[in-house]
Structure 1
Amino acid sequence: MKTHKKIILILSIILATVAVWAAVLVPLPYYIESPGGATDIRQVLMVNGEEDQEPGSYNFVYVQVRQATALQLLAANFDKHSDIYTDEEMTGGSSSEDYFRISQFYMETSQNLAKYQGLSLAGKQVSMDFFGVYVLSLAKDSTFKGILNVADTVTSINGKTFQSSAELIDYVSSLKLGSDVTVGYESLGEKRTADGQIIKLDNGKNGIGIGLVDHTEVKADVPIEFQTAGIGGPSAGLMFTLSIYTQLADPTLRDGRDIAGTGTIEQDGSVGDIGGVDKKVISAAKAGATVFFAPNNPVDKEVLKENPQALSNYDEAVKTVKEEGLDIEVVPVTTVQEAIAYLEKTKDK
């Protein structure tokens, strides 16, 4: 009888140990997004072959994403600044390789637009060639599913070429639902065409059912080099632009301040919204930044219909600063010019 009890006790200990081990170490098909950190842009950017040695810093901020264990999921449920996503929600159904590639495309586009804006604002000669749009995803009902693939570049629609993705989208949305359409594209270095039909998209507009981002290349006499291997996404666009402009046009613009911020950058200088701004302003404050630029665009009407409590990036950042008692000033911007104007106005003259 004693032997039987010993066996049960040993088995219980083993099962308990395995359960604890699984809870701590075994990854589940869930991801946790939480505050990450901030990086001085000088670590990844070189303008005109010269180091930026002026006091202060420009910092881009990022979130931490990790595949979760059971114990981490439990902890994340009690942290209002940690968000939990399923594998499908995080990758959009893409493979890990495609997800990484998509993230790199966003970073590439962000860097090209930052170069273009930074050089233009600094009065330098610059041009940007538009080659088409990278395919990031295909809708389940797209007639091009199984034909176009992630990383292909769509170069024409019905033989027409475009100067921006906005032009391409406007043209495609003007075509009649169900009408035939021919897509010109490049895949693995080969030029190809494919035929399909116009479908109704989830946003109610007509289209061919692809997720896209610009495939561009900037040409200028001023060399600008990025070293961002392993870093993805478009949200550093504003800060990249400020760094390029400052080095070329106004080296003392930072005035010794440690400045952080987030937001995409567009060809016209407008600053676009990003996700996870609450986590990013926390990251900026923890890194010692005293200023945080946040996009201040109106919340989309469709978003407000689904969530009347939705906040703009700026309002969410301000709310987080107040709730967490952070020592950082949140500055609203809708264009890179507004960020420059703020820095000029607040220099210690």
Structure 2
Amino acid sequence: MSRRALTLLLAGLLTLLLGAVGAWLPVPYVVLSPGPTENTLGEVQGRPVIRIEGRETYPTTGGLNLVTVAYQGGPGSGINLLTALRGWVDPTTAVVPQETIFPATDSVQEVEERNTREMSNSQQLATAAALNELKIPIRTVIAVQGTQKGSPAHGRLQVGDEIVSVDGREVSTTDEIAAAVQRHQPGERVRFVVERKGKRVTVDLNAVAAGNGRVQVGVLMAPQFKFPFTVDITVGDVGGPSAGLMFALGIYDKLTPGSLTGGKTIAGTGTIDEQGRVGPIGGIQQKMVGARRSGATIFLTPAANCAEAVRAVPDGLRLVKVETLRGALDAIEALNSGDKAAADRVPTCTSVSAD
């Protein structure tokens, strides 16, 4: 063998070796794929997804399926280049930079805690939306959801504390609390009165500079609702706020006579607020794939996700555009009415994208 041929052979082998090694090197990406679906009218691990006590409920049929996104990768469990390449060629998955799921400033534990907190909050908001739609009175308080590490509130305010007043003024919204804090200069005392385990507790915090001329105490808060009966939601290892719409529909169905779905399998996604407004979510492509695999033929799609959804909708799945809980209920009723003209008037992402 000539020296030139030997050199080319060794170079080729070295290239193959480096390629093989490189394929197994970790890369800073996360692979998103269709996750499990859960019927909000059904059970998870032998327990009802939605359990209502203290109020009459009615039998349900069909499915109101929430959809999820699974992921591979992240800090401490990164994927290799080969896995990323497989994800890039698979039309049912997405490969995204790691920092879009796990911000560099957050640990995996902090991301998971935030997802759990968002899921809990979405369940509260979904219940409030359903009860508001049914004109069932509820009471609202502002509760502590967490505190920022190293902030004045950390270790002083506790998760679940209900904020009664700030500086002697009763408060009932997060905006009122934020405004009360902003009236202070850095270093000034902010007096919180909270209800903790049935007792009122006074907590004094020193405001600190937060940039842009603002101050903060480092408390994370959200509306929490006092319902006239128990609504308990169990979904297993699922986090984030995107199941809010489907929780609200499931609660509404259980509290009203007749079957909302008409026996159909309907899937959907979207955040929700207490007024029933539906917001956008991430991972719409993977969620649609999961919905179709679960047997759904109708997919309730947040209006803000329509443009993205129509580009990747699976065959056999009708995208229904929703902006509110009331709109979703009207759409489902029209689709189940047997009236073709009414069904044709249901807003769809396809028709929106063609305008």
Q: TM-score, normalised by structure 2?
A: 0.71
**AA of the residue aligned to 1:61:** V
Distance in structure 2 (CA, Å) of the matches to 1:317 and 1:72:
25
Residue number in structure 1 paired with 2:228: 220
2:329 equivalent to 1:340: yes
Following TM superposition, by how much is the alpha carbon of 1:51 offset from its aligned partner in structure 2, in angstroms?
A: 8.4
Distance in structure 2 (CA, Å) of the matches to 1:167 and 1:83:
41
Residue number in structure 1 paired with 2:299: 292
Say which SS state the counterpart of residue 83 (structure 2) adopts: helix
Instruction: Tell me which moved more, 192-201 or 64-73.
Output: 192-201
Distance in structure 2 (CA, Å) of the matches to 1:283 and 1:208:
42
Deviations 1:193-226 (A, max 9, x none): 321234336xxx94528584526243213x3221
Following TM superposition, by how much is the alpha carbon of 1:23 offset from its aligned partner in structure 2, in angstroms?
A: 5.7
Q: Is the 8 A contact 2:167 2:180 kept in 1?
A: no
Following TM superposition, by how much is the alpha carbon of 1:229 offset from its aligned partner in structure 2, in angstroms?
A: 3.5
2:263 is matched with which residue: 243, 249, 256? 256
Q: How many residues align?
A: 308
Say which SS state the counterpart of residue 83 (structure 1) adopts: strand
Q: 1:176 to 1:48 in 2, by over 3 A?
A: closer
Following TM superposition, by how much is the alpha carbon of 1:133 offset from its aligned partner in structure 2, in angstroms?
A: 3.4
2:175 equivalent to 1:163: no
**AA of the residue aligned to 1:62:** T
Q: 1:171 to 1:120 in 2, by over 3 A?
A: same
Give matches, 1:18-167, under 5 Å. 30-41=29-40, 42-43=42-43, 44-48=49-53, 53-67=59-73, 68-70=78-80, 71-79=82-90, 81-86=93-98, 89-91=101-103, 93-124=105-136, 126-135=137-146, 137=148, 144=152, 155=163, 157-167=166-176
Following TM superposition, by how much is the alpha carbon of 1:242 offset from its aligned partner in structure 2, in angstroms?
A: 0.6
**Runs of at least 5 residues in structure 2 that lack an aligned partner in the other structure:** 1-12, 44-48, 339-355
Deviations 1:164-190 (A, max 9, x none): 3344345556x488684626488x988
Residue number in structure 1 paired with 2:273: 266
Distance in structure 1 (CA, Å) of the matches to 2:267 and 2:312:
15
**AA of the residue aligned to 2:79:** T
Q: Is the 8 A contact 1:132 1:162 kept in 2?
A: no
Following TM superposition, by how much is the alpha carbon of 1:120 offset from its aligned partner in structure 2, in angstroms?
A: 2.8
Q: Is the 8 A contact 2:69 2:286 kept in 1?
A: yes
Instruction: Tell me which moved more, 329-338 or 96-105.
Output: 96-105
Q: 1:153 to 1:220 in 2, by over 3 A?
A: closer
Distance in structure 1 (CA, Å) of the matches to 2:237 and 2:202:
29
Identical pairs, percent: 25
**AA of the residue aligned to 1:107:** M
Distance in structure 1 (CA, Å) of the matches to 2:146 and 2:66:
26
Distance in structure 2 (CA, Å) of the matches to 1:165 and 1:197:
19
Residue number in structure 2 paired with 1:319: 311
Residue number in structure 1 paired with 2:318: 329
Following TM superposition, by how much is the alpha carbon of 1:159 offset from its aligned partner in structure 2, in angstroms?
A: 4.7
Q: Is the 8 A contact 1:32 1:83 kept in 2?
A: yes
Distance in structure 2 (CA, Å) of the matches to 1:210 and 1:233:
22
Following TM superposition, by how much is the alpha carbon of 1:320 offset from its aligned partner in structure 2, in angstroms?
A: 1.7
Following TM superposition, by how much is the alpha carbon of 1:145 offset from its aligned partner in structure 2, in angstroms?
A: 8.7
Q: Aligned Cα RMSD in Å?
A: 4.0
Q: 1:56 to 1:89 in 2, by over 3 A?
A: closer
Q: 1:265 to 1:178 in 2, by over 3 A?
A: same
Following TM superposition, by how much is the alpha carbon of 1:234 offset from its aligned partner in structure 2, in angstroms?
A: 1.0
Q: TM-score, normalised by structure 1?
A: 0.72
Deviations 1:283-327 (A, max 9, x none): 21222211111222xxxxxxxxxxxxxxx3122112221xxx422
Q: 1:98 to 1:294 in 2, by over 3 A?
A: same
Following TM superposition, by how much is the alpha carbon of 1:91 offset from its aligned partner in structure 2, in angstroms?
A: 5.0
Distance in structure 2 (CA, Å) of the matches to 1:262 and 1:101:
21
**AA of the residue aligned to 2:258:** P
Give matches, 1:171-186, under 5 Å. 172=181, 175=183, 180=188, 182=190, 184=192
Q: Is the 8 A contact 2:148 2:154 kept in 1?
A: no
Following TM superposition, by how much is the alpha carbon of 1:151 offset from its aligned partner in structure 2, in angstroms?
A: 5.1
Say which SS state the counterpart of residue 135 (structure 1) adopts: strand
